[in-house]
Amino acid sequence: MNDFGAFVPGPRARLAPLASGPLDNLTFVAKDLLDVAGYVTGGGNPHWERRQLPASTSAAAVDCLLRAGATLVGKTITDELAFSLEGENEHHGTPINPRAPDRLPGGSSSGSAVAVAAGLADLALGTDTGGSVRVPASFCGVFGWRPSHGRVSMDGVVRFAPSFDTVGLLARNAAHLQLGAQCLLGTLPAAPPSARLLLATDAFALADSEAAAVLKRSLGVFEEAQVFAGRPADFLEAYVTLQGLDIMREHSDFLGSDPIFGPTIKPRFDSVRALDPAVGTRWNAWRAETTVRLRQLLPSGTFLVLPAAPSIAPLRFLRDEAAGRFYDAALTLGSIAGHAGLPAVSLPIATLHDCPLGLSIVAGPGEDESLLALAVKIA
C-alpha cells in the first residue's frame, strides 16, 4: 500500500484503544512532535532524535483519542522541530501530496495532512504555531483545526514557541473533525451558530489574486473588515521576533550542540540566534494591544473569514523569490489567530488549477465549539 511518505522511518507505531467511546473504529496518526509510549519522539531531526529516549507515556492528546476508542496507526513526518510551512524534510524525505503530487504538502504537520488526505487514517494530530495545521490542510484538501490557546493540553509535546504553540487536528470530513476535537476539548458539541461572518479584505489582499478571487466566489456576500490596522508587516515582524525569542528560551541548549539542519531550516535557526532579546519588550506590548483589538472584533457569534494560505501549494523544491514571498505571506495570515490565541479552522471549499485551496475561519477566544459547529454547517 502506498504510504505517500507520510510516516517516520522505522517500525510503524501502533497503539490499541484504551477504552470504547465516540471514536470507536476510527484510526489516527500523531505528528512526530507528540510522545507515543514506547517510541522515540524524533522531532524531524536526527540530531534531536539521538538525544531522546523512548517515551514512557503518550502525550495527553494521544491518550485522549485512545481513551475515546480510536486506534493509533503511525507517527508522521514533521518539518524539523516545526520550523516551516512548506512540508519539506531534508533528512526523512518530503511526504507526497495525494491531491497534487508535484507540489508541496505544506508543513510543518506535513505527514499528518498527507496521511488523512490519502485515506491512511481518519484523524491526525498535528501542532500549529504559525499555521502548521492550517497550511497543510489547505494544500492537501482536508479539514484542519487550531484550538484556542491553552484549551488542548501540550503535555508530552515538543515545545517550539510556547506562547504560540497549540495541538490541532486534521480530518477528511467536518463531522470527524468535530468529533475528534470535542474529545480533545472534553466538551459536548455546540448547536450550529447563527453566524455573523466578516470578510478580512486586507488579509485577502495578501493572497495570490487568482486564489483570492476563487475563494471569494465561494463565499457569497459578507460584511467586510480590516484586521491589520494598515500594517500587515507589523504582524509578520512581531511574529518572527516573538516566536524566535520563544525558541531561544526553549531550545538554547539544543541549538548550542551544533545540530545539523536542512538548507531551508538552517537560515531560520541562524536568524533566531541573532535576535536581540531587548526587542521583545516592544513587540510584546504590540501583541497585547493587538490581542485586545482582535478579540473585540470577534464577540460570540462573529467569525473572521480569510485565506488559509496565500496560494495553492507551490511546486516541490521550488527555490526562488516566490518561495520567500509565500512564506512571509503565509506567516502573516497564520499570525492573526496566533497573536491573539484564537481558534481557527481550514475548510477545503475550493480548487484552483485542480489543486485544493482552503478557507480559514477564525473565532473569538474559547469559541471552539461554535466554530466547529459552523464548519460542519458550511461543509
Q: Can you give the C-alpha Rg of the chain in angstroms?
A: 19
Q: What is the pLDDT of residue 193?
A: 87
Mean pLDDT of 160-188: 98
Question: Rounded mean pLDDT of the chain?
Answer: 96
**What band does 317 get if pLDDT is binned at 50, 70 and 90?**
confident
Output the DSSP codes for 158-178: --SSTTT--EEEEESSHHHHH
Q: Are 272 and 247 in contact (CB under 8 A)?
A: yes
Q: In the predicted model, is pLDDT for residue 204 greater than 70?
A: yes
Sorting pLDDT into bands at 50, 70 and 90, what band is 334? very high
Return d(Cα 364, Cα 34) in angstroms, integer: 27
Cell numbers for 308, please give them. 488559509
Within 13 Å and on the Cβ side, how many CA atoms surround 372? Answer: 29
Q: Which of 84, 109, 112, 132 is catalytic?
A: 132
* pLDDT for the residue numbered 220: 76
Q: How confident is the model at residue 148 (pLDDT cuts 50, 70, 90)?
A: very high
Choose, from 31, 138, 311, 335, the residue flagged as catalytic.
31
CA 41, distance to chain mean position in Å, is 18
**DSSP 8-state assignment for residue 213:** H
User: In percent, how much of the chain has pLDDT > 70?
Assistant: 99
370 labelled catalytic: no
Using pLDDT thresholds of 50, 70 and 90, give the confidence band for residue 114. very high
Average pLDDT score over residue span 167-179: 98
Residue 108 a catalytic site member: yes
Report d(CA 120, CA 78) in Å as an integer: 16
- For the question of whether the overall pTM of this predicted structure is more than 0.95, the answer is yes
What is the number of other CB atoms lying within 10 angstroms of the CB of residue 24?
A: 12
Cell of 97: 501530496
pLDDT of residue 219: 81
> What value, to the nearest 5°, has the Cα angle with vertex 283 and ends 166 and 327?
60
Q: What is the mean pLDDT of residues 219-232?
A: 89
pLDDT > 90? residue 181? yes
Give the three cell numbers for residue 376: 460542519
Q: Does 360 score more than 80 pLDDT? A: yes
Measured CA to CA in angstroms, residue 307 lies from 95, 157, 207, 300, 362 at distances of: 23, 28, 7, 21, 11
Quote the pLDDT of residue 289: 98
pLDDT over 70 (residue 318): no
- 14 vs 32: CA distance, rounded Å: 13
Cβ contacts of 293 within 8 Å, gap of 6 or more = 229
pLDDT in tens, 15-32: 999 999 999 999 999 999
- Nearest-angstrom CA–CA distance, 252 and 250: 6
Classify strands 167-171 and 143-146 as parallel, antiparallel or unpaired.
antiparallel
Q: Which of 100-104, 191-195, 244-248 has the lowest mean pLDDT?
A: 191-195
Mean pLDDT of 307-332: 88
Distance CA 110, CA 275 (A): 28
d(CA 154, CA 3): 28
Work out the average pLDDT over 49-64: 98
Q: Which of 58, 75, 84, 108 does the annotation list as catalytic? A: 108
* 7 pLDDT higher than 90: yes
262-286 pLDDT tens trace: 999 999 999 999 999 999 999 999 9
In this structure, what C-alpha cell is assigned to residue 294? Answer: 482582535
Kindly tell me if the per-residue pLDDT of 221 is higher than 90: no
- Beta carbons within 8 Å of 304's beta carbon, 6+ residues apart: 197, 198, 200, 225, 227, 297, 298, 336, 361, 362, 363
Characterise 88 by phi-psi region: left (phi > 0), alpha (psi -120 to 50), beta (else): beta
Identify residue 136 by its one-letter amino acid code. P
- Which residues are CB-contacts of 32 (< 8 A; sequence separation ≥ 6)? 8, 41, 42, 43, 44, 75, 76, 77, 78, 111
State the Cα–Cα distance between residues 140 and 109, nearest whole angstrom.
Answer: 11
Instruction: Grade residue 322 by pLDDT with cuts at 50, 70 and 90.
Output: confident
Question: Using CA atoms, how far apart are residues 323 and 328, in angstroms rounded to an integer?
Answer: 9
In the predicted structure, residue 319 carries a pLDDT above the cut 70? no
Question: What domains can you pick out in the chain, each with its CATH number?
Answer: 27-185 (3.90.1300.10), 196-378 (3.90.1300.10)
- Using an 8 Å Cβ cutoff, are 54 and 204 in contact? no
- Tally Cβ neighbours within 10 Å of residue 62: 27
In this predicted structure, what is the pLDDT of residue 324? Answer: 81
Cell of 114: 498527507
Counting residues of the chain whose pLDDT is more than 90, the rounded percentage is 94
- Kindly report the number of other CB atoms within 10 A of residue 226's CB atom: 12
138 is catalytic: no
DSSP type of residue 223: E
Range in 119-133, 195-209, 285-299, 315-329 the model is least confident about:
315-329
Instruction: Identify the bridge partners of residue 352 per DSSP, sorted by sequence position.
Output: 355
